[in-house]
Amino acid sequence: MKLLFSRNPNPRLAVATARYLKAKIAFEFALPMAPGQAERYRALNPNLTLPILVGPGWSLWEADAIACRLSRVAHSDFWRTGDDEAEMIRWLSWGKENFVRACDMVHFERGTKQRWGLGPVDKALVAEGLRQFHTAAAILEAELSRREWLVGNSISYADFRMATFLPFNDVAGLPLDDYPSIRRWYGRLETIDAWRDPFQGLEAPPLPPVKIEA
């Protein structure tokens, strides 16, 4: 199998998952949206987005689906099954619609748009993203004040997914210091090599720098 990736948030999540699981796969940096590349990748993912997991005669896209597949191949409980599966899916679903979504809104304005020259920061959207962030973070803070990880007593893919945008907080500037339990939880993630630096040893050109507005 081969994982097609970039350094953007969701592909980074997939690479971190694969490396945490010590998956026996190849890694290939990809640019589906680059000039002349669309047709090559369209057969693998009609959305032309990354990550994409490729095997003999098949491809699988979306980071959550890839995490599920790699966990099952590795016979790992990183993707929970059994009695804990519903709890994990609850956090995946809630996170993507609340905490992760709010992080994405702010990061898109302050990070993605400025990296790729997509226009000025929309301060109203940043304010709305921060409002949603505080609402979601208060719920997550209360949960993490009572536990180290989101599901059971050990790390799971739910923790990785919830933290998708936090490695990019140097540009997003989300107020994590307002939430000490979230900070402690994320600090535990940062001690894991596969999360802290998933691209170590891989050919992965860095993202363009963020252009600071005048």
pLDDT tens per residue, range 165-191: 999 999 999 999 999 999 999 999 999
Q: What is the pLDDT of residue 214?
A: 46
Confidence band for 213, pLDDT divided at 50, 70 and 90: low
Q: Where do the domains of the chain lie, and which CATH numbers do they carry?
A: 2-73 (3.40.30.10), 82-192 (1.20.1050.10)
Six-digit token string for 95: 């996170």
For residue 142, give the DSSP letter.
H
Confidence band for 33, pLDDT divided at 50, 70 and 90: confident
Q: To 5 degrees, how large is the angle CA 196–CA 32–CA 62?
A: 55
Six-digit token string for 57: 């005669």
pLDDT mean across residues, the chain? 96
Region 42-62: mean pLDDT is: 96
CA separation, residue 194 to residues 22, 23, 111, 149, 210 (Å):
9, 12, 23, 17, 24
Q: What is the pLDDT of residue 63?
A: 98
Question: Do 102 and 133 contact (CB within 8 A), yes or no?
Answer: yes
Confidence band for 14, pLDDT divided at 50, 70 and 90: very high
Q: What is the pLDDT of residue 187?
A: 98
